[in-house]
Structure 1
């Protein structure tokens, strides 16, 4: 489900944050560092980004670079949002779950060099976590517990959701550690045997879980933290082995000057601190705030992970998409078909 919201300009933020944000947007290079203000930014992003970008736009419009900027937001499943932009949905700034949804837009809608900057086009990061009912009644500790009798998993549909692909790759990577590709495929088959719901997006999956579907949700760490920050009743486990999530961002080829300033803000120290406060792991660990509400340990919100796999470890997205998600011959496609 796609959600569109429009908001305008200044909101109150803490004095310390305001000073930090103004400095970041006033001293940056290029369009992000000039004193211009006003304009419009149409943000099109995937659903799980919404809490982070609500916070970012509020902070940005309180800075000199963001003063008077009107921001509109449209959020939905990552793949669907990418298709919407290519079909003509107005967009100045795009943020997706995974890189292939961005590269599909190049070169017509996004410059081919979108991933060549200091952050390599990445605006936010997170990790795959296991979300459970309050008190963890099934005593879930890690991936192996998910294939035990009685476990009912909610995870989004990889046909529409980037979140789903990260979740599936995390499960596969766990299987790899148990004995290579054969063990990974075996584990993934057992995992899908416990999937009871595949909503269109990561946010829709969280909504379904909170409404009572299943007893385990595979999700982003930031999605779990954001839910707890708003009073939702759930707990989450960061497995000892999991997968790093990297969310790409870019301005479009028709982007406004205000959008370019906003991108600079997202990538800045100030922008990363804003994201870290709402559950995203910042691009640099030094941007982690002293406490993060909703985290398992607010004073240590982003614990180190013993074995953190990356998309590069599996050969990159071109290889992974063909091997796992090809509509006819992908590993996941065949496993899903086997499980109906």
Structure 2
């Protein structure tokens, strides 16, 4: 059946393509080449979107070259000279880094979706049948629960995960001190901090840990790839919003592709990979791998947002994840990682 849904704010993956490097998709050598530089989770999800764009007039003679990896690493790579016409990252700060370098225009958010191309929510991925009975944030900090989450030092998804845990405390009336204590418990239960969201999913589906903190779409993709897991959308969680932009040297086809990414057709493609649409009126077929394929994106009881709960990434990035370099203070989460010894993999 088809279900028409509203944008998300209202509401192993081993065996997929390689984590990094370039690949090409269709097109004619006589047309424009679009270099897509994105965070690792987008790799499989982008395949049908690229193909559908190639079927449009704007994409008829286009060749795609793609590069995927941890969001922060991808963004820093573009600063260092990696080719990019369209960038699609986990965090706004990975785009604003490029704005600061003059590689993306300052007005990149001036469009109907405020620069957001895909969205999801933070969920708990658990073993089949949920043997540990994990339903809420409080359950995952119980003694003996083994957590896997990516490293906030390199992975955008990790930052969403940790801030969702923080919001669980402060959003429900807790103090910052109580939030620190809660996140410290979470980190002390963490047995692995892989470098990217995709690597974290692979570690979990390979058998490590009791619970994986992840994107809803990543959980759905894991089940689509026959991973023997379940996932839980907790009663309160954080809306994940993934930005995309064109670089200042991008051609007309790249600009057309960026616009296509938020079209109903592309958003329906992304929904099939588990992403919540960022525009209204998207018609979606049943989503394989979702808890309820006919109603794949249930309304969250309490959905925190980065803007309303943390005053946006411009403030949250330094406050929580500052690296302490050049005389700047350590961010709260960075400090907690160091005091707990959970510095993770780069």
Instruction: Give the alignment of 1:135-150 within 5 angstroms.
Output: 135-150=129-144
- Structure possessing the higher relative contact order (Cα contacts under 8 Å, 6 or more residues apart): 2
Instruction: Give the alignment of 1:282-321 within 5 angstroms.
Output: 282-312=277-307, 313-321=309-317
The answer for unaligned runs of 5 or more in structure 1 is: 11-36
Q: With structure 2 as the length reference, what TM-score do the two structures score?
A: 0.87
Instruction: Give the alignment of 1:145-224 within 5 angstroms.
Output: 145-176=139-170, 177=172, 179-224=174-219
Aligned-residue CA RMSD (Å): 1.5
Aligned to 1:280: 275
Aligned to 2:338: 337
The answer for unaligned runs of 5 or more in structure 2 is: 1-18, 325-329, 342-346
Aligned to 1:34: none
Q: With structure 1 as the length reference, what TM-score do the two structures score?
A: 0.89
Q: What is the count of residue pairs matched by the alignment? A: 314
Aligned partners of 2:59, 2:241: CA distance in 1, in Å? 26
1:56 to 42, 49, 59: 49
Deviation at 1:67, TM superposition (A): 1.4
Aligned partners of 1:182, 1:311: CA distance in 2, in Å? 20
Q: What secondary structure is seen at the aligned counterpart in 1 of 2:99?
A: coil
Q: What secondary structure is seen at the aligned counterpart in 2 of 1:289?
A: strand
Aligned to 2:120: 126
Q: What secondary structure is seen at the aligned counterpart in 2 of 1:105?
A: helix
Distance 1:120 1:152, change over 3 A: same
Distance 1:327 1:106, change over 3 A: same
Aligned partners of 1:235, 1:56: CA distance in 2, in Å? 26
- The structure in which a higher percent of residues are helix is 1
Deviation at 1:181, TM superposition (A): 1.8
Aligned to 2:104: 110
Q: What secondary structure is seen at the aligned counterpart in 2 of 1:79?
A: helix
Aligned partners of 2:87, 2:293: CA distance in 1, in Å? 30
1:81 to 74, 79, 92: 74
Asked if structure 2 preserves the Cα contact closer than 8 Å seen for 1:175 and 1:186, the reply is no
Aligned partners of 1:260, 1:137: CA distance in 2, in Å? 47
Asked if structure 1 preserves the Cα contact closer than 8 Å seen for 2:104 and 2:246, the reply is yes
Aligned to 2:250: 255
Aligned to 1:3: 21
Deviation at 1:54, TM superposition (A): 1.5
Deviation at 1:182, TM superposition (A): 2.2
Deviation at 1:45, TM superposition (A): 0.3
Aligned partners of 2:39, 2:150: CA distance in 1, in Å? 13
Deviation at 1:234, TM superposition (A): 1.3
Deviations 1:297-334, CA, capped at 9 Å, x for gaps = 00110000011001112111121112111123211112
Q: What secondary structure is seen at the aligned counterpart in 1 of 2:275?
A: coil
Aligned to 1:268: 263
Asked if structure 1 preserves the Cα contact closer than 8 Å seen for 2:32 and 2:63, the reply is yes
Aligned partners of 1:288, 1:303: CA distance in 2, in Å? 15
Aligned to 1:70: 63
Asked if structure 1 preserves the Cα contact closer than 8 Å seen for 2:262 and 2:279, the reply is no
Aligned to 2:236: 241
Deviation at 1:288, TM superposition (A): 4.8
